[in-house]
Amino acid sequence: MPNYKTQMEAAKKGIVTKEMETVAKKEGVEPEKLRALVACGQVAIPANIHHTALSAEGIGTGLKTKINVNLGISGDCKNYDVEMQKVEMALRFGAEAIMDLSNYGKTNTFRRELIAKSPAMIGTVPMYDAIGYLDKDLLEISAEDFLRVVKAHAEEGVDFMTIHAGINRRALEAFHREGRKMNIVSRGGSLLFAWMEMTGNENPFFEYYDEVLEILREHDVTISLGDALRPGCLNDSSDAGQIGELIEIGNLTRRAWEKDVQVLVEGPGHMAMDEIAANVKLQKRICHNAPFYVLGPLVTDIAPGYDHITAAIGGAIAAASGADFLCYVTPAEHLRLPDLDDVKEGIVASKIAAHAADIAKDIPYARDLDDQMAHARHKMDWEEMFQIAIDGEKAKQYFESTPPADRHTCSMCGKMCAVRTTNWILEGKKVEFYSEKERRLKK
């Protein structure tokens, strides 16, 4: 048996685990350099000891930007088969993490199947599952009950859990004092807020934080410190509630590291483009360079049906500014549970944002595929282009929907293709648009 409980404990002891070796190989970094980053908390490798199907990934400083796909059933959409199809799509497109946000009924059967088959990291929000798992109304749930759900998820093999421990009484003072247009838009945060207000008690995840950390440490679960007071519209961004909670999260980050529990810190939300970079820098400063996990940010509030685009814009800016982990947003955000097409659109948009940011951050080998695509375009090799593309299937469908007369062009430029024209001239060929027969007919 290894003489460590968690990846962070191993790293602090100078041990390079097999998960670190896997991540180092994927990222093209030296294992010892990676170990040092895990030891100081700047990189997290969420890897529950019970998740045997996992192919470990690293999140944090100097590594590729990762993406997460949310899925799960609700009371209005209870088809687990469809959710498993979404899982398969997420894996096919290379999502590094999947969060099961199911909030209806007994969800553990689906979650166990998901953990058994998924090489991607699995995340949950125990607060979502508490009501269904415990079969109690909110006011009937005790602090001990909440911890029972955390323990159940850890034992099932969940790699990281969103736990809204920062929304304590002190953080809520700023929320009450300042007021907001959208108040609280975090589902888990709103439930905790309601529980705290109805019972008069402190947030149980804050009050019993040490007990939570002991559960997570036992199974090597990474804590993702949720931003219950994230802004739900542009007007509420960077306000006292958001920043007050972030200050609490900074302290909770250090406390987790002291227990050798790895940390992700979650961030906004909705935010104007000119605020994003400053927010990332502030988070990194207050939370001691812990990996930053962002939802969006959505850069405008008026694009329902297109929020995969508003989130990709914000996500690209955030990741280029130092964020490490993007939570995808689908076109159905704010409207309904996403279907398969929505999930695909959200994944692709998020992958584009992450990849564009990695190029900007000069992540090792990030531009290799772009250089390969340029080479394939130079050769006019369509099949190679489709192989390299993030969504080659869609690219091929577009190309073949209006096939060109000459396979070495596309239907937009046809014979006037700039690439073909330049290639011919550089090869010493004459550029001609008409055949001999066509020239004779013109005469």
The owner of tokens 């088969």 is: 81
293 is in an annotated binding site: yes
Beta bridge partners of 270: 298
- Residue 392: alpha-carbon gap to chain centroid: 22
- Residue 420: alpha-carbon gap to chain centroid: 40
Cβ-in-10-Å burial (0-12, 13-18, 19+) of 393 comes to exposed
378 is in an annotated binding site: no
The owner of tokens 């013109």 is: 442
Counts for the chain of helices (H) and strands (E), in that order: 20, 10
327 is in an annotated binding site: no
What span, in angstroms and rounded, lies between the C-alpha atoms of 160 and 125? Answer: 9
Please give the helix or strand (H or E) that residue 388 lies within, else none: helix 382-388
230 is in an annotated binding site: yes
70 is in an annotated binding site: yes
228 is in an annotated binding site: yes
270 is in an annotated binding site: yes
End-to-end Cα separation, the chain, in angstroms: 87
342 is in an annotated binding site: no
Residues, the chain: 443
Beta bridge partners of 68: 97, 327
Quote the tokens at residue 41: 């908390």
410 is in an annotated binding site: yes
Q: How many CB atoms lie within 10 A of CB 292?
A: 24
What span, in angstroms and rounded, lies between the C-alpha atoms of 290 and 323? Answer: 10
Q: Which residue from 228, 134, 146 is spatially nearest to 189, judged by alpha carbons?
A: 228
266 is in an annotated binding site: yes
417 is in an annotated binding site: yes
128 is in an annotated binding site: yes
188 is in an annotated binding site: yes
227 is in an annotated binding site: yes
Known binding-site residues for [4Fe-4S] cluster equal 410, 413, 417
Known binding-site residues equal 70, 99, 128, 164, 186-188, 227-230, 266, 270, 293, 334, 410, 413, 417
Known binding-site residues for Zn(2+) equal 270, 334
Known binding-site residues for substrate equal 70, 99, 128, 164, 186-188, 227-230, 266, 293
